[in-house]
Amino acid sequence: MSDGTKIAARMWLPEDAESNPVPVLMDYITYRKRDSALFYHQTIYP
């Protein structure tokens, strides 16, 4: 971003996503590092 803010994302795609496009579901949670469910979600979605 122009102010130096960094944005990170994790993406899980099927192996053939480039040749066989799939829809997307995006979950956006601000200030994720202070979220009380962060540890729990990292165990489910590594």
The count of structural domains within the chain is: 1
Range of the domain at 40: 16-46
**Does 10 fall in a domain?**
no
| Residue 14 near residue 20 (C-beta atoms within 8 A) | yes
**Does 5 fall in a domain?**
no
To the question of pTM greater than 0.85 for the whole model, the response is no
Instruction: Give 2 or 43, the one with higher predicted confidence.
Output: 2
- DSSP 3-state of 28: coil
Q: How far apart are CA 18 and CA 14, in angstroms?
A: 9
Res 8: pLDDT: 78
Res 13: pLDDT: 85
Contacts of 38 by beta carbon, 8 Å cutoff, 6+ apart: 32
Structure confidence by residue, pLDDT tens digits, 19-46: 999 998 877 766 666 667 777 777 877 6
Q: How far apart are CA 7 and CA 4, in angstroms?
A: 10
**Does 4 fall in a domain?**
no
Res 7: pLDDT: 80
Res 29: pLDDT: 66
**Does 6 fall in a domain?**
no
**Amino acid at site 14:** P
